[in-house]
Every structure is written in structure tokens, then in C-alpha cells.
Structure 1
Amino acid sequence: MNFIKRAFLSVKAKKGKSILQLFVFTVICVLVLSGLSIQSAAEKSAELAKQQLGGTVTLSYDQEKMMQEQREARESAGSEEDRESFRFAQTPVEVEDAEKLTTLSQLSGYNFTSRTQAAASSFDPIETSSSASSSNSNPMGGKMPDNGMSDADVTLQGVVFTDATSDFMDGNAEMTEGTHISDEHIGKNVAIIEETLAEENDLSVGDTIEVASTSDEDTTVKVEIIGIYKTTSTSTDSMGMSFTSMNPYNKIYVPYTVANEMKGEDYEGTIDSATYYMADPADTDSFIEDAKAMDVIDFDTFKLDANDDLYQQMVEPINNVASFSKNIVYLVTIAGAIILGLIVMLGIRERKYEMGVLLAIGEKKSKLIGQFIVEILIVAIFAIGIASLTGNLVADKIGDQLLSQQEEASASSSADTNQFGGKGMQMGGGGMGAPGGFGGPGGQAGAADAEAATVDLDVQVTPSDLAKLTGIGLLIAVIATLIPSLSVFRLQPKAILSRQD
């Protein structure tokens, strides 16, 4: 009788053993399929997170490197008198150099930022509740140094594209009248002001306002209002409430050339920073490599920062889940092969007489092993079929539970980091929003808040997952059967039958 036919008859005759093997194999297949599906979902979710946040790279002065160099210089000084005090100077970026990087193929957009404070000359700023009484007071106690900050009552946010700033892209600001500032307005004296500031001073699109420098009283600039926006931002920190210029209603968007004019001649043709937006977030590293290869930026002074902290924060729980599910696949595969191997081994021991008879009538030992493999493969096919029908539901439940646990752990870690002055405590620079393309809004999703940009695991069993499960299942079946079956080669039919007698 053909060994394949004997295998089918054996599976049918030994229902109890076959059901046990089917149950064990089904559990193994469901867990393996769950792990594979969760891994696939995690990869898709990580890619979705990149698309949500976009890829941004910021070119700015390397403040950390400067501080490190000053620290090393102080440590190498011979005496306390020779040690220089820390200086928080900042070297601006040359616009000409920043513009050269905009020619790289990975980009979908860019924005330049130049920020300064100024004094309102022809209009009244919006006063905060505490600014009038504490304009020269330090929130931490004592007097603030008179460095011009106390005289400033508006903030000039110099940009190339206002619709590509974080406030507008994140929904914290929206245009109510007029038009956005774009690259067409570079070199022109135009501005966009906040709705409350406009109403309090009875200003509208087409009117002109005047601002003055706080460091040089002879420097004044008249700008034409081309747009009015409405902000939902509020200044809640004590420092912001102590300075009128930091009131969100007193933020005036202007071309960066206007902000530079207020800063003085030394800042002509410069910017504080440049932000570049990737057409594909995966091209971030290649953009940085190409930018360095152009050799137009002095990277001893400046740095290109990928700004991926938020992305890393979002995908950390997902990566943890993916890593855990990968370990599940490995552990279940190994454990499953061992458990099935033990079951097969016990079955082989119970069937010595059957094997002795078959060997005595001339059946080859290799075909006996083939029969055992076919038997377990029959069980494997049914187990894989059941797993493919139920695996998606199990994987979805497991994935949601794992992601929930990882998100709680990540949130707790982030809270601890922010509490003790970690990455969460950063000075806002503004104007580093999502890309507006080379001509305005478009391409990327922008620098979304962590709360706004959420990523879920959409666990779905794919044909690729089923193919992998089939391969792993068959591998488990063969290994679990082949290793115990090697004992067949040591069997002698005469000894088996005589022992049985």
C-alpha cells in the first residue's frame, strides 16, 4: 500500500491523536500568524507616521558645539582668571548658502526664518494683564537687565512663506482677510497682523503701520498690511506674560528681509535658520549626505538637524510592539517544533509493532519516515486553514493590547523626561512648520503635535503573511517529524516482532 494512502488512513483511524496534534498546531499557527501580522502592521504604521509628520531638516547655528568648545576651553585654562565666561552668541546663516540647498532633488519645499523684537510706533500693542506692572521685573525675582527686551512690544516673525509656518499648518492660526506672505514679497515692506491687534487699532488690509528698532532709535520701518490672521494660541508661561512682545496677538509676520532690516546692517543677507521639507521622509538621510557633499555650508559652525524627535516618540511604542511580535514568532516556532516533536516521538514509540510489520514485509525505512511526515502535514494544512480564518481577530486583539501598554510606558517616560528638563523643555523658534512647497502650501503634513499625529495598528492578515505562515508551518511539521523519526533507522523488524511476541 502506498505510504501516502497509509498516512491518510492513519490520521482518520487515530482521531484522538490527530485532534490533539490539530489543536496544538492550530495554536502555534495562530500565534505565529499574529506575530507576522503585527509586524506588517507596525511597518505600515511607522511609514504612516513618517507621512503624517513629514521629513524636515533644519539648518542652524550649532549652539551645542559652541558651548562644548567653550567648556573645553575653560577646563584647559590655567587659572580661574584666564577662564572666559560663557557667551551665547549666534552666527546667522547666509541666505545665499541656504538657497543652494533648495536645489537638491529630495525637497518639496523650504522656509527661512529670521526673528526679532521691535517697538510699535504708529499703533498700540495688545497689553497682557501683567506686562504693564512688570515690564522690568524678572519673574524669578529682581530686575531684568535693560537690553532692549523691555522696550519691545511686538515680535517680527520673518519668513518666506507664512502658510508654511507651524502656526498655520497646525491650525493655531488662520487667515481671515488678505493674502499670505510668499517668496514674491521678499524685499518688500509688507506684513500680516493678528485680528485682535487689527481691531484694537482699527486697522485693515491696505493700511500702513510703523515699527521701530529697540537698539537703534533711528531705525524704523513702515510696512503695508496685506493680510489679517486669527490665532488661537495663548501665552500661559510666566515669562511670556511678563513681556508684551511675547503676547501671541502681537506677533507680526513679515518677509525675513524686513526682520533683518530691524536687526541692523550686520544681518543683511542672513537668516536665523532654514528648514527644508522632504518630498519623501525616507530621503532625509540622503538629503543630509548630499547637502554635506555640496560643501557650501561650514559644518564646523552650523548643523543640519533632522528634527525627528516627534517621529521617534510616535514610533517607539510601535517598534517595541514589532520587536515583541518578532520574538513571539521565534519563540513559538521553536517551542512549537519541540512540542510537536515530543508528540510525534511518543506516537512513534507506540507504533513500533506497526513499523515492525511493515519493515518485515519489505517496506523501506525512508517511506515510513515519509508516512509520518505526510501525517503531520495533513494536520498542518487544516491548522493553517483554521489559523487563516481566526488569526486576524486574535492578532488585532493582541496588537491593540501590546500597543496600549507600550504607549502608556512611552507616555510615562516622556512625562518624566519633560519634568526633569529633557527634550520637552525647548525654546520655541516659530516658523519651522510644514512645507508650503517652493511656491506655497502643499506637499507634506507639517510639524503636527504629538497629540494630533496619532498612529494606530491596523492589523490585517495579508497574502504575504499567509505565505510566511505556510512556510513556517511546513518547516515546523518537517522538523518536528524528521528528528524523532530518525530512530526508525535503528529498528530491526525481527527484534521488534520477537519482542512483541
Structure 2
Amino acid sequence: MNFVKRAGTSLRARKARTVVLSGIFVVICTLLLGGFLLQAAAARQEADARRTIGVDVTVRGKGLGPAVADRLGRSAPVNRYNPVLPLKAEARGAQPLESDGPKPPGTRTGDRARHFLAVSGVRDSSMLLPFSYGSARITAGRGITPEDSGGQVAVVERRLAERNSLKVGDTVRVRSADHRRTVPLTIVGVFRDPTPDPPRWTPSHELPGNTLYTPVRVAQELGSDAAAVLSEAVFRIGSPEQAERLHAEAERLLGAGTFDFRVNDRAYRDQVRPIQQVGTFAGLIVWVIALAGALILALIVMLQVRERRDELGVLLAMGEKKRKLIGQHLVEVAAVALPAVAVAALAGQLAGQELGDALLDHRQGDVTPGQRQREPVAAGTPRAAVGPPAMDIGPVVLGKVAGIGLGISLVSTAVPGIGILRLHPRSILTHNE
């Protein structure tokens, strides 16, 4: 009889053992599938967290201008960047807010300083600390984006907009401090800064309500120096390991020792590293389950070989080759392993998402996705809104589980196969041990 047919007959004849073996394989394959799904979900969530959180590098220096910041922003490690160019400008056709506190002695009534606004040229307002940390938020319209680099647009504070009845779509004219240039700006957004006005008299450009954000090019146009120096530039990179490459590029452009380079990876450590640990843990689970499963099944097959010595002796006496006897046991184990993969896939489809949600905690922070990218060192780390891990059972994952399952089948029959190779029909039939 063909050894494959013989394996099928053996499985039908030993239904109880077949059911037990099938149950063991289902458990092993389900655990393997869970480990692979968790690994894949951790990798996807880590990539998403890298894009959402990342690591912020703040560069400050006397030679840091908009052109240098753009060159650094185009370097390979950088995903996003935001230069900040602060200046004072005079509002035309709009009345800035004024401090309610008593003016200090010597301050002239009608001092021109009270007509100034605090203008900050930025590339991406969502990367500014007040917006990324969540203390400031857009209440109407939108913020400044990289697509606004060539436009004449502005985002104004709510108090300034309310005093002058400004809304999204209106135009405000801003004149440079030297009165040489006047730029009309279209309001694309209104934001709310919760910082209260100081109780003492403060120049108008230092009042939080007189803040206005524009693209960097507009700030350069309003500035008195074409080669303006940025107060800082913040660069978003994927991981702390990439900071060294960005530092080398900054040294090449600015010169060694001429700039301040600070890496803020606290949010990255708090949220990406735990995801990496879950992925490592899932990989360890796969190895442990594979080794333990091979050992358990090898012991089971070995016991079956001992119990079936008479059968094997008769087959050997009839001239059956030993390799076919080993093949019969391999077919018996493999025939149980393959259906177990299908059952494990069904179990993983039903319970996989709950497993990912339990081990990959995707707690939401107090801000919306994409807002929070930086946090002050002294403050608590704001949590990024990383989406839930997707536990997808694809053909690649099923192929891995099936491959490992068949590998376990091969390993579990290899050790007992050594015992089969040592069997002799005469010793089996004359000595029933």
C-alpha cells in the first residue's frame, strides 16, 4: 500500500489521537499567527508613530538664515521643518491692542511702539510650540503651510481680529518698521492664544494678542535686512539615530562650533520605544513557540513510534523501506498541520484585533493627529494620536505560519525517524518491548 494512503488510514483509525494532535497544532499555529500579526502591526504602528511624532532638532546660530534652513530641510533625514523669523511691523488700517497697565515714566503718549505688531515668518505653523503642544489652536480657517511660501497670507490672533472685525478672507496691510515697504496680507486663519495680557504696561508688539504669522518670504520682505537671521529652525527627523547626520550637515553649512544643536526625543522615547519592545517581544514569542512546538510534537511522535513498533516491524518484514515509514509519519503530521493553519487564521481574524489593542496601546492624547510634535523639557510629554494597529491576515503571514508548521512537522519526525532507522524486523517481532 502506498505510504500516503497508509497515513490516511492510520489517521482515520486513530481518531482520538488525530483530534489531540490537531488541537495541539491549532494552538501552536494560532500562537504563531498571533506573534506574526503582532510583529507586523507593531512595525506599521512604529512607522506611523515615526511620521506623527518623530524627533525634533532645534538649530540656532548667527549664520542661520532662511536659505540655510531650506538647505538643511532638504537633507535626507528631515521629514518636515519650520524656520522662524521674528520681527516688528506696523499695522495699516487695523488698530493693534494696547496695554491696560499704567505707562512707565518717560513713555511718550502716542509712542509709535504701540502701533507695532509681532510678526513671525514661519513655514509650517503647526510645528510651532504653542500649536504642537496644544496651548494655541486654530479657531477659524487654517494655519500657515509650506504651500503658502510664495503667497501673501497671514494668521492673526483672535483678540486682534475681534477688535478690528477681521475674519478669514479679509485683508490687513502691514508696513515694515522702516516704513519702506507695505504688504497686503489675506487672512487665512484665526488662532486663539490662551496667554493673558500682562498686568503691567507692555509695548504693543509684546502683547500676545498682537501676534501675526506669515510665510517666511513675507517676513523677509518686511524686514530691514535681506539676509535676516532666524531665531531658530526646527527639523523633524524620523529617529534619534538620524540626528548625527543632520548635525554633520549643519556643520558643513554653518561651520563647527557656530550654532546650537538640540535634540528633543522625549516623545519619541515615550511612545516609539514601547512599540519597538512589543515587536521584539512578538519575535521572541514566535521563536519560543516554534521550538516548544517542535519539542512537544517530537515527543508525541516518538511515543507513537514506540506504540506502533509491531506495525512497523510487520511493514519492515514485508519489505517496506524505512524512509517510507518515516515519510508516512511526516504525512500524518503534515496532514494535521495544514488544516490547523486554516483554523488558526479564523481564530486570528476573530481575536487578532483585540490582541493588538491590548498590547499596542493607542491611547489618544489631548490634541488632534499631526498637531503635537514638540514639548517643553520641563513639562509632561504630550501623547501623539497614533492610530490603532491594523491586524491584517494576509497571504504572506499565512505562508509564514504554514511554513513554520510544516517545519515543525519535519523536525518533530526527524528525531523519531532516527529510531525507525535503527529498527530491525526480527528484533521487533521476537522481542515485544
Deviation of residue 403 (structure 1)? 1.8
Give the structure 1 partner of residue 388 of structure 2.
456
Q: Is the 8 A contact 2:138 2:191 kept in 1?
A: yes
Question: In 2, distance between residues paired with 1:400 and 1:19?
Answer: 32
Q: What amino acid is aligned across from residue 397 of structure 2 in structure 1?
A: D
Does 2:10 match 1:38? no
Q: TM-score, normalised by structure 2?
A: 0.74
Deviation of residue 285 (structure 1)? 4.4
Give the structure 1 partner of residue 59 of structure 2.
60
Does 2:233 match 1:274? yes
Give the structure 1 partner of residue 21 of structure 2.
21
Residue correspondence of structure 1 range 330-409 to structure 2 within 5 A: 330-404=287-361
Q: What amino acid is aligned across from residue 483 of structure 1 in structure 2?
A: V
Deviation of residue 115 (structure 1)? 3.2
3-state SS of paired residue (1:337) = helix
Deviations 1:156-200 (A, max 9, x none): 2421446665477988125669999954479xxx96532322433
Give the number of equivalent residue pairs. Answer: 405
Give the structure 2 partner of residue 489 of structure 1.
421
Question: In 1, distance between residues paired with 2:199 and 2:378?
Answer: 15
Identify if the C-alpha distance between structure 1 residues 124 and 427 changes in structure 2 by more than 3 Å, giving closer, same or farther.
farther
Give the structure 1 partner of residue 109 of structure 2.
none
Residue correspondence of structure 1 range 294-305 to structure 2 within 5 A: 295-302=252-259
Deviation of residue 97 (structure 1)? 3.0
Deviation of residue 329 (structure 1)? 0.8
Deviations 1:199-234 (A, max 9, x none): 33567855657898xxxxxx8898656244422331
Identify if the C-alpha distance between structure 1 residues 156 and 185 changes in structure 2 by more than 3 Å, giving closer, same or farther.
farther
Identify if the C-alpha distance between structure 1 residues 339 and 251 changes in structure 2 by more than 3 Å, giving closer, same or farther.
same
Residue correspondence of structure 1 range 147-226 to structure 2 within 5 A: 156-161=118-123, 166=128, 172-173=137-138, 182-184=148-150, 193-200=156-163, 226=185
Question: In 2, distance between residues paired with 1:185 and 1:386?
Answer: 59
Does 2:192 match 1:232? yes
Question: In 2, distance between residues paired with 1:351 and 1:178?
Answer: 77
Structure 1 range deviating more: 244-253 or 394-403: 244-253
Deviations 1:456-483 (A, max 9, x none): 1111211000110111000001101111
Equivalent residue for 1:317, pick from 274, 291, 296: 274
Q: What amino acid is aligned across from residue 321 of structure 1 in structure 2?
A: V
Does 2:87 match 1:98? no
Structure 1 residue ranges without an equivalent (≥5):
62-89, 137-150, 213-218, 412-422, 429-448
Identical residues among aligned pairs (%): 30
Structure 2 residue ranges without an equivalent (≥5):
105-112, 366-373
Give the structure 1 partner of residue 97 of structure 2.
125
Q: TM-score, normalised by structure 1?
A: 0.65
Q: What amino acid is aligned across from residue 137 of structure 2 in structure 1?
A: N
Does 2:397 match 1:465? yes
3-state SS of paired residue (2:410) = helix
Question: In 2, distance between residues paired with 1:396 and 1:178?
Answer: 36
Q: What amino acid is aligned across from residue 274 of structure 1 in structure 2?
A: A
Q: Is the 8 A contact 1:57 1:304 kept in 2?
A: no
Question: In 2, distance between residues paired with 1:398 and 1:165?
Answer: 34
Question: In 1, distance between residues paired with 2:280 and 2:143?
Answer: 51
Question: In 2, distance between residues paired with 1:163 and 1:100?
Answer: 19
Deviations 1:57-90 (A, max 9, x none): 65613xxxxxxxxxxxxxxxxxxxxxxxxxxxx6
Q: Is the 8 A contact 1:156 1:259 kept in 2?
A: no
Q: Is the 8 A contact 2:349 2:393 kept in 1?
A: yes
Deviation of residue 318 (structure 1)? 2.5
